[in-house]
Amino acid sequence: MIDQRRLPAAFEVVTLHKWSEVVEAIRNMTVRGAPAIGAAAAFGLALAANESGAHDTTAFLADLEFAAAALKATRPTAVNLAWAVDRVVNALGKDLAMKHSLEVDDLRQVVLDESQRIADEDVATNKRMAEYGSNLIHDGDTILHHCNTGALAVVDWGTALGVIRTAHEQGKHINVLVDETRPRLQGSRLTAWELGQYGIPYEIIADNAAGYFLRTGQVQEVLFGADRIAANGDVANKIGTYMLALAANDNKVPVYSVAPTSSIDLSVADGSLIPIEERDPEEVLGLQFHGERVSPEGARARNPAFDVTPNRLISAIITENGIVMPPFDVNIKKIK
């Protein structure tokens, strides 16, 4: 996989041989983006199946359950991670129930096949989302985009950035305002890099400049992804999304969350029940300006990685099964 920590300074591909390496890659954000870490975790289970020295089904399943628990614990907010791991484990259960007796090598193949299926489906899912979402983008629009939701964040194509890419390939003349997305700067590092690869015009803005561009009528749509969507349509996404949606609503600019149905968690009634990951304060404190540390030595910081945008601030949720409009608590169930 591409080492996203190195972009845009260097394009490096890393190869992971052990499931424990996948755990670390997800935790340290070598790979990031809800769909991408879901697929990575699934292949992590395939590595765990390959590494298991078990010769009987019971011991093999115990090895996989241990790896599955470790993979699911790496990032708590994005539901795609647990969804993908559980899907692989459930595929094993179905095969065992149907055939009653399977050799361990057969089970290894089931895990690998299901992991590949998740990856392949993700590409098709993203392209369907992009087709639906591109209908909301018009020629000449300027789109404000938060975090990174492109091919780097998925298996291929992208969610919100996939919509932008498709609109561009349809011949629409668009411009993208790219939020830096502090503290890890996924916007200015990753989204800007991707847009450059596609030849889509863009300009990087500081996160706190978004309100200025919205108030002065220079933005036609706000687009972002989702790490988890509650049953009522509340959206957990990269920190700063909530403030962006507030400013957009105050200026009557539509706000679109683009996410696969695998990011919808009907078991969570509303956004207040979504666990919010708090990451290492050093991600905030370690920022440098002109090669020097910004914060004083000994300073403390808080670093929530996500926030929750209430459904009242969301204009529509774009999925591979169509565009969901309010009331979300009713309409989400129709496409999930």
Spatial distance between the Cα atoms of 291 and 287, rounded to a whole number of angstroms:
9
Q: Which two three-digit tokens encode residue 36? A: 């991408």
Distance CA 260, CA 149 (A): 12
C-beta neighbour count of 140 within 10 angstroms: 10
Enclosing H/E stretch for 144: strand 142-145
Residues of the chain with pLDDT under 50: none
Asked whether 157 and 193 are in contact (CB, 8 A), the reply is: no
The pTM of the full predicted model, rounded to 2 decimals, is 0.91
- Determine the Cα angle at 226 with ends 224 and 232, to 5°: 115
For residue 7, give the nearest of 252, 248, 191 by alpha carbon. Answer: 191
Among 227, 234, 265, 307, which one carries the catalytic annotation?
227
227 annotated active-site: yes
Q: Which domains does the chain have, with CATH numbers?
A: 19-125 (1.20.120.420), 129-335 (3.40.50.10470)
DSSP annotation string for 85-108? HHHHHHHHHHHHHHHS---HHHHH
CA distances in angstroms from 18 to 23, 27, 50, 73, listed in the order given = 9, 15, 9, 17
Rounded distance, CA 259 to CA 257, Å?
6
Q: At residue 98, what is the residue type?
A: M
The helix/strand/coil state of 74 is coil
pLDDT at 100 (0 to 100)? 61
Residues 320, 260 contacting (CB under 8 angstroms): yes
Q: Which 3 state secondary structure label does DSSP give 120?
A: helix
For residue 226, give the nearest of 196, 199, 264, 195 by alpha carbon.
Answer: 264
At residue 231's C-alpha, the angle toward residues 34 and 224, to 5°, is 40
